[in-house]
Amino acid sequence: QSQLANPVQAHGFRVESLRLYLFIHEEQAENQIMSLREEINPSSYGDKITVLSIDGGGIRGIIPATILTFLESKLQELDGEEARIADYFDVIAGTSTGGLITAMLTAPDQNKRPLYEAKDIVPFYLNHCPKIFPQSSGPLMRMRALRGPKYDGKYLRKLVRKILGTRRLHETVTRIVVPTFDIKLLQPHVFSTFEAEMEFSEDALLSDVCIGTSSAPTYLPAHHFKTKDSEGNEREFHLVDGGVAANNPALLAMKPTGKVFPGSPDDLASPQSLQYEKYLMLSLGTGTSKIEKKYNAKMAAKWGILGWLYKDGHCPLLDAFTFASGDMVDLHMSLIFRSVKCEHNYLRIQDDTLSGNTSSTDKATKENMRELIKTGESLLQKPASRMNLDTGIFEPAHNGATNQEVLTSINTCVCGLADLLKNYRRREDCERNDYISGPPFDYNI
């Protein structure tokens, strides 16, 4: 087994206020990329570092859950029924609903195996989301939404504490990254297994991390909890939804600050550029309504505080923050991998065509949840796409295969993600040196 490197202290981003967020987000991302270059020399890493990233999006978490169900089923066909998503990714990052999915996939059972299979997540949503987001309408609901959170969050907190119990961040079966936003400090706080192994006060309960990253402003109340450091000193957290800071956590997941990245501590001394070609990343979105174009300048010109906070069951301000941050990250990821000529190492699966109830964060009706399952299933049949860097819209890759074909092996000559992950599989008793060459995500199958 390779000697493990010491974790590197992670850096958070400081922001002055939420109103400045969109203005400074691009600069923050650039600074983070520069810090990556200064902190890590990956020359002694394994052949590939596998990363899974899951966006936030409330009830729309059903979409990535459907895709993960398909991927895990293919991995089980290749590697046996005991295969789990967490066995194949060095890092799993999730924001908000993606953070809950991340915890479910990586929390350990009594045998130190993942507590849930991917196929358990969609039924979990179908069963519990109507109680997390109880449906009601009319003036009373609108008045409640103006006076406080739309939902009291009691069922969600009770449920998360029940399923995750006393499990802590350091116990996950693979490394995880979960962004939140500390409303008291007005800065993002990123929880990670890396930090939990290094700093006692970072080793929060998984339940607290999940509740914090899911506390969407206007929808659910903020979450407060305390931890203690190794000397017994208390540390407080005042958290709201991680989507305020990073609804798409892919860039955060690439920050190598943990033991999962083998190598000598001496590698950290000399600044060298990060070898992005070593990363194999699958990034799953929860869908957007860009094509629907449900807002426009004529509408927004008339909005005051209330209009920005509530419009036809949606929160335009929160939509702007979360969609903008997600797109900025995808833009940076696309540019990063393209600039080093390894764009095939990055696969983003996202649907920009949601409309009506399917684009809602909290429409937890049976009909809408069934539609979201269909959306996830149909997304597998759509061509693998890349973001058009000019329009921000996802467009099919030229002569592209479907997402399902890219995720699987469809003939003996070309490998899909499932085959590659099988060969990169994380095993403590061997190194991942034998792997299949060629572009990881072949869009031209």
Positions marked active-site: 96, 241
Euclidean distance between CA atoms 26 and 232, whole angstroms:
38
418 with 407: CB under 8 angstroms?
A: yes
In whole angstroms, give the CA distance from residue 194 to residue 426: 17
One DSSP character per residue, 139-160 reads HHHHHHHHHS-SS--HHHHHHH
Residue spans of alpha helices (H) in 14-96: 21-39, 62-79
Task: Find, among 256, 201, 260, the residue nearest to 231 by Cα.
Answer: 201
d(CA 57, CA 287): 8
Whole-number Cα distances in Å, 109 to 123, 280, 403: 19, 27, 31
Residue 439: name the closest of 347, 331, 350, 334 by CA: 347
**Whole-angstrom Cα distance, residue 237 to residue 435?**
43
Q: Which amino acid is at 308?
A: W
The token pair that represents 78 in the structure block: 């290749």
Rounded to whole angstroms, how far apart are CA atoms 349 and 387? 10
Read out DSSP for 347-404? EEE------GGGG-SS---HHHHHHHHHHHHHHHHSBPEEE-TTT--EEEPTTPPBHH
Question: Quick one: DSSP state of residue 135?
Answer: -
Q: What residues contact 389, with CB distance under 8 A and at least 6 apart?
A: 331, 334, 335
- Cα distance between residue 50 and residue 295, in whole Å: 37
The dihedrals phi and psi of 370, each to the nearest 5 degrees, come to: -65, -40
What lies within 8 Å, CB to CB, of 71 at 6+ separation is 85, 118, 407, 417, 418
Contact 345, 283 (CB under 8 A): no
